[in-house]
Chains A and B, each alone.
Chain A
């Protein structure tokens, strides 16, 4: 998700019909610059060299959990089109196909069509598996406490809700939170017994954890974009 504001102007994005590394290439109707939807970078055209600003949002979450947190949320209307209740990529997700074009690189550390959580933080790229057996093996209530570069991070995944989130565990410069468990739903408990809302990042005393943008993406596509990626191992 990106801000459409760039250099004081508002861009409008359409689908270019082109793929870069098997991923969507957008174009803006104002200048017809081509943009990667994965990196937010202008690939070709008058705005080459520019990057769209990312807007923080979790990649996916089950409707009931979103609505539970935000009962006033608006929902994009499907109108009267019943087809829009069916997933056009159902067959693709179920298959071992990696896309229309051969990926530039095959990395066998993870299955090609396995989803991972891909995190870009400063110059670091790190992937966390999304497969169920991996998360079942994570004790501590589906919480991973890790570091990316020098930044202590919290990674949470709820397989029932598809929900993933990555937070900077620091508050201010020095204070680092340690999380002990995830007792209910989307809440985690820290080592002081305080509850944190993992959807909003809100903790005790009005403290809000800093959200780190991330994507849910097939491993083959992630390594094609970022061959230097580190893969998390417990």
Chain B
């Protein structure tokens, strides 16, 4: 009996895996509108290359005045002017940190590159 029972269980599991496999194949073969208006699954297109915070964003930016900034005159910058206040970020800094969490002219902004 126990053998039989095991065999039945194996059979049931086999069927489940079989169905999952079939669904996966159907899912891959008919993306988009196979089942009416199915939204494109963006998460499948997202690739993980580093852990969270593997590149450190800036959360508490520190600033210097334009006079004191040691920046080459021809360096490319990202600049923002909000409510009469201006902040500039070198594109090199943004390449190192990708995101700066900042507040300019009272507006919380994320500078990205």
Contacts and interface: CB of A to CB of B under 8 A. Distances in A.
A50 interface: no
Nearest to B111: A1
B88 A73 contact: yes
Contacts of A52: 110
Contact of A86 (B43, B52, B66, B92): B92
A44 B112 contact: no
Interface in B87-101: 87-93, 95-101
Given A10-B108, A55-B80, A84-B92, A77 B52 contact: no
Given A60-B76, A101-B47, A84 B55 contact: no
B92 A76 contact: no
Contacts of A166: none
Interface residues of B, number: 59
B66 A1 contact: no
A1 B109 contact: yes
Contacts of A85: 92
A109 interface: no
A12 interface: yes
B110 A44 contact: no
A200 interface: yes
Given A74-B86, A75-B88, A85-B92, A15 B55 contact: yes
Contacts of A71: 66
A228 B25 CA distance: 29
B112 A24 contact: yes
Contact of B87 (A37, A76, A89): A76
B43 A44 contact: yes
B98 to A, nearest CB: 5
Given A2-B109, A63-B73, A76-B87, A15 B46 contact: no
Contacts of B53: 14-15, 17
How many chain A residues sit at the interface, stated as a range, is: 35 or more
A17 B50 contact: yes
B78 interface: yes
B107 A55 contact: yes
A62 interface: yes
Given A15-B55, A43-B42, A57 B78 contact: yes
Contact of B63 (A21, A66, A75): A75
A59 B77 CA distance: 8
A162 interface: yes
A63 B77 CA distance: 6
B93 to A, nearest CB: 6
Given A76-B89, A87-B92, A160-B74, 4 more contacts: A12-B59, A24-B99, A77-B62, A86-B92
Interface of A: 1-5, 10-21, 24-27, 34, 37, 43-44, 52, 55, 57-64, 66-67, 70-79, 83-89, 100-101, 160, 162, 200
State the 9 A-B residue pairs at the shortest beta-carbon distance, nearest first: A17-B50, A64-B73, A75-B69, A73-B86, A74-B63, A4-B108, A15-B55, A70-B86, A77-B62
